[in-house]
Structure 1
């Protein structure tokens, strides 16, 4: 292997935290991975990975070397893409990330249209309910819900969503509708822990912020699970308005305590700042901004579906 290939192998081992997993990712044999890392460590003269019977971890030197590898290989990829004209013509591999439900409901249905327009692009969609580090994980474009704090990124606002409290009509037939957030202390609550936006229940009582902590009888790790349980009439949940727009529209869920909601959260399409933005990124960002910006369920025009 040349040094660039060795760097790719080392990055795979570090990110997968294992030699076998790295081999599967790179489609090479585990012995080849082991030999490549051993050759690197011998040439450099220091241990890059700490090995146990179960796990592989970076040493301090390995962490620094990993960062250098990412930078060097990133610059190499940029140079090759520039030479191939990818800054003019959309081509190559494009990775996008979005929250799970948002990705399933809004992003995934659009991907095939984009691919049909740009047949030289290959897309990978990472749908996870966590804030992905774009630089560390090789992300080209991200959908962010909430306020942004990274000045190293360009952002285009495409909509807004509300944090809503809702339950099925059947639940409200058995229990009184809460008129104030404090009344939720006696409600049957199903809470999603997938995002801090949902597990930390905050409200506005007039001009005064109101933060409430609950001891819910049921906690789930997926937003869709909380929504499904609420639709069954078991209890009240808190979700983002886009996640239940369809359920509110067809009457299977009702939103309450609207007068106590926090201001709407912005939705942005985000990409890394760079002197040269590849055509695949430019076109995909423009495509998403146009399609998502036109979606009425992503506009907070008042109470209701949101």
Structure 2
């Protein structure tokens, strides 16, 4: 073993020098004098040379002793600082949390969640990134992610937050010269705008349900994009119909800019979830954020059936 592998030996050596004698250091460390002498001998044995010159009246450092003492004190100071920082982190939430979210969910619901968390914990700072490629963000070192859609991977832990309900919508202008669909099969004749991303499913297939009835449609989207805002703008312009989260188009439906198609039918809900690395130790602030997000989303989203 190396000379700096045992902090107890280094602490014993530094205390002996600071105290001026082995007996004084033993009292300070609450050890017996023979025990402290053995620790000094063990450190000198690892060093391969004497660290202290001792006679009946005084002790002094050798040249190697001076060097080892300086390094030992620097190392012990660093350890003390790290331990103090860890204790502070566990008592008072502070520091930076790196969070990511799927794009549109992050710009709305997640942004409000984070604002509420910071207001409750003013010493915390949050960096929010947007990506529909969650595993990439985990690999980049993010602490946690809040996602719409499914994600199953052994590298992350996933906790459900609730369901994001979705509905079929179209612009009112699209139906000036078209008849609204009366049944799911009628939707196949309309141009579609769809969302890409593995966690959102295949954009060329859409499953709708009404009670126990289920219909799966084969689609040929005219526009496929990663962003829900892009889909919403295209639908507003009358490009086609789409399935979007209810909260995302609520204002459009109230204003009449969009209409909900087949009100008795819904697309399969997306699972909202918070994820974090499986193999990484979470700090107190990240643990607190995960718990806060879970409770916050319970008031915003429909709970998943147990």
Change beyond 3 A, Cα 1:165–1:81: farther
- How many Å apart are 1:145 and its aligned residue? 2.2
Q: Which residue of 1 aligns with 2:37?
A: none
Contact 2:165 2:245 survives alignment (8 Å): yes
Match of 2:232 among 196, 219, 227: 227
Query: What is the aligned counterpart of 2:206 among 202, 205, 229?
Result: 202
Q: Is the 8 A contact 1:90 1:120 kept in 2?
A: yes
- Structure 1 match to 2:146: 143
In the alignment, the residues of structure 2 paired with residue 216 and residue 154 of structure 1 have an alpha-carbon distance, to the nearest angstrom, of: 33
Larger mean Cα displacement after TM superposition, 80-89 or 180-189: 80-89
When normalised by structure 2's length, the TM-score is: 0.60
Q: How does 1:134-213 map to 2 (within 5 A)?
A: 135-150=138-153, 153-193=156-196, 196-197=200-201, 199-204=203-208, 210-213=215-218
Structure 1 unaligned residues grouped into runs of 5+: 1-78, 302-306
Matching of residue 242 in structure 1 with residue 247 in structure 2: yes
Q: Name the residue aligned to 1:288.
A: 293
Q: CA deviation at 1:119?
A: 3.2
TM-score (norm 1): 0.60
The equivalent position to 1:113 in structure 2, one of 112, 116, 125, is: 116
SS, match of residue 90 in structure 1: coil
**Alpha-carbon spacing, 1:261–1:96, altered in 2? closer, same or farther (3 Å):** same
Tell me the equivalent position of 1:51: none
Distance 1:131 1:213, change over 3 A: farther
Structure 2 residue matching 1:199: 3-state secondary structure? coil
Most deviating of 199-208 and 229-238? 199-208
Question: Gaps spanning 5+ residues in structure 2: where?
Answer: 1-80
Q: RMSD across aligned C-alpha pairs, in angstroms? A: 3.2
- Between Structure 1 and Structure 2, whose CA radius of gyration is higher? 2
Between the two proteins, the alignment pairs up a number of residues equal to 221
